[in-house]
Amino acid sequence: MDVQDRIEKLRKTIELNAYKYYVEDNPELEDWEYDKLFRELKDLEEQHPELIIPESPTQRVGGISEKFAQVQHKNRLYSLDNSNNSDELKQWYSRVLKEVGTPKASQLSLLGDNYEDVELVSELKIDGLAVSLTYKNGKFVQGLTRGDGVIGEDITNNLKTIKAIPLKLFEDIDVEVRGEIYMPVSSFDKLNKIQIENNQKTFANPRNAAAGSIRQLDPNITASRDLSIFIYAAIFDKGLTVLTHSDALDKCKKLGFKVNKYRKCKNINEVIEFCSEMSEYRKTLDYATDGVVVKVNSVAMQNELGYTSRAPKWATAFKFPPEEVWSDLLDVEFSVGRTGIVTPVAILKPVNLSGSVVSRASMYNFDEIGRLDISIGDEVLIKKAAEIIPKVVRARKTSNSKPLNLPQFCPSCGAKLIEIDGEVGIYCPNKEHCPAQIKGRIEYFVSKAAMDIDGFGDSIIEKLIEKEYIYSPQDIYKLTYEELLTIDLIKDKSANNLLNAIEESKDVTLSKFINALGIRFVGKESSDILAQSFKNIDELKKATYDDLSAIDGIGEKMAKSIIDFFANSKNIQMIDEMISLGVKIKNKYSNADLLRLKGQSFVITGTLDTMSRDYAQAKLKELGAKTPSSVSKNIDYVVVGENPGSKATKARELGIKILSEKELLEIINGG
């Protein structure tokens, strides 16, 4: 046997046993046998570097990255709507039946037991980090974080270190799969033990540990952590037709992916039984789960049901009831956010809750303190809201209970606190000079959803404010190399990196710039809507209340807040100063065809041949069109692809113009 044949045989043997070990949990080789073969392969490749290929098992760990590149997902990753109890599951199922036109849908009783069968698939929801993996001709070529669902970060090198992710599939096909990266609970415990021994900060829970491990710039660190993955969805190339979601999962298993157990359910009652079983069964597992994902099994029905602006209508996430535990309320701290609102935080006797130690919990606002009748020294019941944020839900008096004195002055700057008519909460009015508000605004301004300036950690921002280098967002663009070096957390290289990141942020889209301004009630989605409605920031400055409140998605409260923001001369000065310092604001919706489809609405049904539905909807939105998911008399056009459902029929009944994919392309391209 020549060297090349031996190398290929070693690779196949190692890959197969890695699959048996990390995916099927049924290894055929002893550890020492596996290690011996791996060492032999590594030695042969070192002797014959011309024979090394990217998908070799020895190439899982790559070089260190400077930063993660941002990449647009070919197919958008949506969020999931939640169902918190069996009644909400039944309500979701009722909507599914009505959307697909099930004959018995009109007779559906939410409390009854007899449903028209629409087959569903139930899978445990992994509490991890969502990623997408792309394979070309069976080879792993790219892996992205979920990001915001449209743009993710390229973490390919780090994902290659996870042995449950095959570098080469058992078939040479093109496929994009979605999965959840997680860290086993046993591995999480071992990692925290090592962190303690090394006097390093411990991780709060397995999800945080997994997320922190997968985003290391050095893949060697990721490789040292015991991460795994479950695949939960796949988008195959057009040469492979999959009729059901369960068929797709079975195909993924055959390709070499690790897929969690799932159950096909005839109707929603069987789903509810599965959720009840899993609520107890999950406690025996070595990985964290926070619910069950329920999906319509038929791919044709999924296409028919479509999506809302943020989530598939054919799926829902049933959330397990959160764990609850009693603790002692030791104190209440008051923190100030970027808008000036004062938030009470409970300081607790440390207690274990849902796999992590909790010593602080939210009480949201002062009305909540009154409702709970909170006193220092009370015993308080804590639960995790959405399995993430600890929250106080009940209190009971003890012999140590003593009255809680509410603050009269800002804990950050000492200003007299005020109430605002019609709003719940107490505010610090000292917006310009309150350190906590300044810090909050800067943190938001540099965040990924806003100006996206890497390198500004909480501690660095705090030090810059202490040294009076920054008061307002525009001051970031005045920072000098010499000033940065006076911060003990910043060295030569990091100072240069930070200045480069600041310079790169100067080219920004209008939607991100609006979001970065931190206008009250205006978030990422509404910033995008405003960017579609106005050519530039100057137009938005001049917008009237009537202009704003007439825009879909911009309510009266938001419109008033925008007017108030631009009526403040200091805000106008801040924007003008940033522009004079080199910030260039470009509207991605502003081109030669600026919003030429504004006011028109398109519904897409069926499968498109030359582009994904997400891509088509994104292009239409760039031109100002709306892309609702359902057909009504207010729709202008329905685009019909392959295998359309009842939406096409309904469009014809209503006399709505039907477009082919070719006609849609002509419209997008200027026809």
Give 48-91 pLDDT, tens digit per residue.
777 778 777 777 655 545 568 888 888 888 888 888 889 999 99
- Spell out where 544-624 has E strands: 584-586, 602-605
Q: With cut-offs at 50, 70 and 90, classify the pLDDT of residue 450.
A: very high
Give percent above pLDDT 90 in the chain. Answer: 42
At the top level of CATH, which class does the domain 120-318 belong to? alpha beta
pLDDT tens per residue, range 333-385: 999 988 899 989 999 999 887 666 889 888 877 888 888 899 999 999 998 75
Q: What's residue 62's pLDDT? A: 56
Q: What's residue 109's pLDDT? A: 41
Q: What's residue 346's pLDDT? A: 92
Q: With cut-offs at 50, 70 and 90, classify the pLDDT of residue 102.
A: low
Q: What's residue 472's pLDDT? A: 93
pLDDT tens per residue, range 310-336: 789 999 999 887 678 899 999 999 999
Q: What's residue 592's pLDDT? A: 43
Mean pLDDT of the 621-626 span = 79
Architecture label for domain 324-419: Beta Barrel (2.40)
Q: What's residue 21's pLDDT? A: 61
Q: With cut-offs at 50, 70 and 90, classify the pLDDT of residue 135.
A: very high
Q: For residue 251, is pLDDT > 80?
A: yes
Q: What's residue 594's pLDDT? A: 56
Q: Tell me the C-alpha to C-alpha distance, in Å, between residue 441 and each of 211, 434, 478, 516.
A: 25, 11, 17, 9
Third-level CATH fold of 602-668: Rossmann fold (3.40.50)
Report residue 493 as tokens.
Answer: 């290289």
Amino acid at 381: L
Amino acid at 114: N
Mean of all residue pLDDT scores within the chain: 85
Q: What's residue 180's pLDDT? A: 94
At the top level of CATH, which class does the domain 509-586 belong to? mainly alpha
Pick the CATH number of 3-59 from 1.10.287.610, 3.20.190.10, 1.10.760.10, 3.40.50.150: 1.10.287.610
CB neighbour burial string for 34-46, b if at least 16 within 10 angstroms, e if fewer: beebbeebeebbe
Query: Hey, where are the domains in the chain?
Result: 3-59, 120-318, 324-419, 435-505, 509-586, 602-668
Q: What's residue 198's pLDDT? A: 64
Report residue 95 as tokens.
Answer: 């909507």
Q: Which residues are catalytic?
A: 125
pLDDT tens per residue, range 488-503: 888 888 899 899 999 9
3-59 and 120-318 share one CATH topology? no
At the top level of CATH, which class does the domain 435-505 belong to? mainly alpha
Mean pLDDT of the 244-250 span = 94
pLDDT tens per residue, range 382-429: 987 544 568 888 899 999 999 998 899 999 999 999 988 777 778 999
Q: What's residue 353's pLDDT? A: 78
Q: What's residue 390's pLDDT? A: 84
Mean pLDDT of the 1-29 span = 72
Cα-Cα end-to-end distance for the chain: 62
Q: For residue 107, is pLDDT > 50?
A: no
* 3-state SS, residue 336: strand
CA dihedral 407, 413, 418, 423 (to 10 degrees): -90
Give percent above pLDDT 70 in the chain. Answer: 90
Q: What's residue 115's pLDDT? A: 45
Q: With cut-offs at 50, 70 and 90, classify the pLDDT of residue 483.
A: very high
Mean pLDDT of the 163-177 span = 92
Q: With cut-offs at 50, 70 and 90, classify the pLDDT of residue 110.
A: very low
Q: What's residue 60's pLDDT? A: 66
Q: Tell me the C-alpha to C-alpha distance, in Å, between residue 82 and each of 125, 148, 292.
A: 12, 18, 10
Q: What's residue 347's pLDDT? A: 94
Angle, helix 569-580 to helix 556-567, in steps of 10 degrees? 70
CA dihedral 62, 63, 69, 74 (to 10 degrees): -10
Which residues share a beta bridge with 601? 626
Q: With cut-offs at 50, 70 and 90, classify the pLDDT of residue 626.
A: confident
